[in-house]
Amino acid sequence: MKNKVVIITGASSGIGKALAFEYGNKGAQVVITGRNEAKLEEAKAELVAANITCQAIVCDSSSEEQTRAMVAQVVQEFGRIDILINNAGISMRSMFENVDLKVLKQLMDINFWGTVYATHAALPYIKESKGGIIGISSIAGYRGLPVRTGYSASKFAMNGFLEALRTELLETGVHVLTACPGFTASNIRNASLNSEGKITGDTMRDEEKMMSAEEVAARIYTAFEQKKKTLVLTFQGKLTVFLNKWLNGLMDRLVYNTLKKEKDSPLK
Q: Please give the torsion angle defined by the CA atoms of residues 244, 85, 157 and 253, in that order, rounded to the nearest 10 degrees.
A: 30
Is residue 198 classed as helix, strand or coil in its secondary structure? coil
Strand partners, 13: none
Tell me how many degrees the CA angle 152-154-158 measures, rounded to the nearest 5. Answer: 115
Average pLDDT of the residues in 215-219: 95
Looking up residue 119, the CATH number of its domain turns out to be: 3.40.50.720
Q: How many CA atoms lie within 13 A of 219 on its CB side?
A: 19
Tell me whether residue 260 is in a domain: no
Average pLDDT of the residues in 28-57: 96
Query: Nearest-CA neighbor of 91 among 108, 74, 78?
Result: 108
Told to judge if 151 belongs to the known catalytic residues of this protein, a careful annotator would answer yes
Residue 106: pLDDT over 70:
yes
Tell me whether residue 267 is in a domain: no
Average pLDDT of the residues in 201-211: 60
Q: Are 104 and 82 in contact (CB under 8 A)?
A: no
Tell me whether residue 262 is in a domain: no
Q: What is the mean pLDDT of the chain?
A: 91
Tell me whether residue 176 is in a domain: yes
Query: Nearest-CA neighbor of 158 among 113, 91, 222, 123?
Result: 113
Three-class HEC string of 169-230: CCCCCCEEEEEECCCEECCCCCCCECCCCCECCCCCCCHHHCEEHHHHHHHHHHHHHCCCCE
Q: Are 33 and 57 in contact (CB under 8 A)?
A: yes
Q: Which residue has the higher pLDDT, 264 or 73?
A: 73
Q: What is the pLDDT of residues 144-175, one digit of tens each?
A: 999 999 999 999 999 999 999 999 999 999 99
Radius of gyration of the chain (CA): 18
Tell me whether residue 252 is in a domain: no
Say what the pLDDT of residue 107 is.
96
Strand partners, 232: 180
Domain that holds residue 38: 5-237
Tell me whether residue 255 is in a domain: no
Tell me whether residue 254 is in a domain: no
Query: Nearest 5°: phi and psi at 254?
Result: -65, -45
This prediction's pTM: 0.90
Tell me whether residue 242 is in a domain: no
Q: What is the pLDDT of residues 169-198, one digit of tens each?
A: 999 999 999 999 977 665 554 567 877 678
Q: Which of 23, 125, 151, 221 is catalytic?
A: 151
Number of domains within the chain? 1
